């Protein structure tokens, strides 16, 4: 059964575009989804069809009918899940490196969504047919914490919190070379690369992206950093570190040649670190957010997985740096 909604435009919203107004009022629906609903005639303004660019006025009545999610063609699979938290509304899973989040060409099975559909009987449909329950995602070769909504109300509230930057996501990442300062912020727009559409890059026409970095350990020819996302663009941390000349260790796409970019006495050490790091050194190790139903503050921390922890232990030991315990 479709979800029918009726909204009155408040005085302060007069003059807004219809699609922008709905995007601000309905955080569970993306702006692109709203645009499709308007184009398909599912949105009416004062009883008539309207264009997405049409301006609303105070007192206008907006009616929209949101169709139920299409039945998923993705099949449940009994893939083990490492759950750090679970209740009736959500779960937090520690995704291993190598596990694709949702089905795509070349990865129709064996994904996190396949595993979630086996674990949860009625997963939230707001994420779409191919990615039910998914509030935010991680790259295939990035490990760590992800929030998954079990039903639509939790999904809508978590999506709204993410949009308002109320879900704090912390990462551990190793980069080549050394940051000039212990702390820095990168504020640079990210979008599709003009030279290679399969890659992301810092481009003027991209969407605003902000990442904060803090050095945790200084190694011989690399730094272990804590990274905090203020925005969530595709490959954001990897692109930002490449942009400032300190690409992620083990990153085959944005790695800038890896150890070959290190010169002088650190070259041999860098080659050994590269040999010990089996994939991109990026791990989502901390989540902090308010529970979508109770408002309780939740903070979950997941240490580096064994593959990266072993490399970090060697790097710190061989560099004479054992400050902090965040990496272990």
Has 182 been annotated as catalytic? Answer: no
Query: Per-residue DSSP letters for 174-191?
Result: EEES--SSSEEEEE--EE
User: Per the residue annotation, which of 139, 152, 223, 251 is the catalytic one?
Assistant: 139
Dist. CA 64–CA 25, nearest whole Å = 12
Cβ–Cβ under 8 Å, residues 43 and 60? no
Neighbours of 28 (CB within 10 A): 18
Q: What are phi and psi of 300, to 5 degrees?
A: -125, 135
Residue appearing with tokens 């005085």: 11
Cβ–Cβ under 8 Å, residues 218 and 319? yes
Residue appearing with tokens 């050095």: 215
Q: Are strands 190-192 and 200-202 parallel, antiparallel or unpaired?
A: antiparallel
Which residues are designated catalytic? 139
């Amino acid at each position: 059964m479709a979800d029918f909604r009726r909204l009155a435009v408040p005085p302060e919203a007069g003059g807004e575009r219809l699609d922008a107004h709905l995007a601000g009022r309905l955080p569970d629906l993306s702006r692109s989804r709203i645009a499709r609903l308007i184009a398909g005639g599912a949105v009416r303004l004062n009883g008539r069809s309207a264009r997405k660019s049409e301006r609303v006025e105070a007192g206008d009545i907006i009616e929209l009918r949101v169709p139920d999610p299409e039945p998923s063609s993705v099949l449940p699979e009994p893939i083990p899940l490492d759950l750090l938290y679970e209740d009736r509304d959500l779960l937090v899973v520690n995704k291993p490196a190598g596990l694709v989040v949702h089905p795509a060409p070349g990865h129709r099975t064996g994904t996190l969504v396949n595993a979630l559909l086996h674990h949860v009987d009625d997963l939230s449909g707001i994420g779409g047919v191919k990615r039910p329950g998914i509030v935010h995602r991680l790259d295939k070769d990035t490990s760590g914490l992800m929030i998954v909504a079990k039903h639509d109300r939790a999904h809508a509230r978590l999506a709204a919190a993410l949009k308002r930057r109320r879900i704090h996501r912390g990462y551990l990442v190793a980069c080549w070379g050394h940051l000039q300062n212990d702390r820095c912020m990168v504020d640079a727009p990210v979008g599709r690369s003009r030279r290679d559409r399969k890659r992301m890059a810092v481009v003027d026409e991209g969407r605003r992206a902000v990442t904060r970095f803090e050095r945790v350990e200084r190694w011989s020819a690399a730094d272990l950093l804590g990274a905090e996302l203020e925005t969530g663009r595709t490959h954001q941390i990897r692109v930002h570190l490449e942009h400032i000349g300190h690409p992620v260790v083990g990153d085959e796409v944005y790695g800038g040649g890896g150890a070959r970019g290190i010169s002088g006495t650190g070259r041999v050490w860098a080659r050994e670190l590269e040999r010990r790091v089996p994939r991109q050194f990026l791990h989502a190790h901390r989540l902090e957010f308010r529970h979508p139903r109770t408002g309780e503050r939740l903070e979950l921390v997941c240490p580096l997985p064994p593959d990266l922890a072993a490399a970090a232990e060697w790097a710190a030991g061989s560099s004479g740096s054992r400050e902090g315990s965040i990496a272990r």
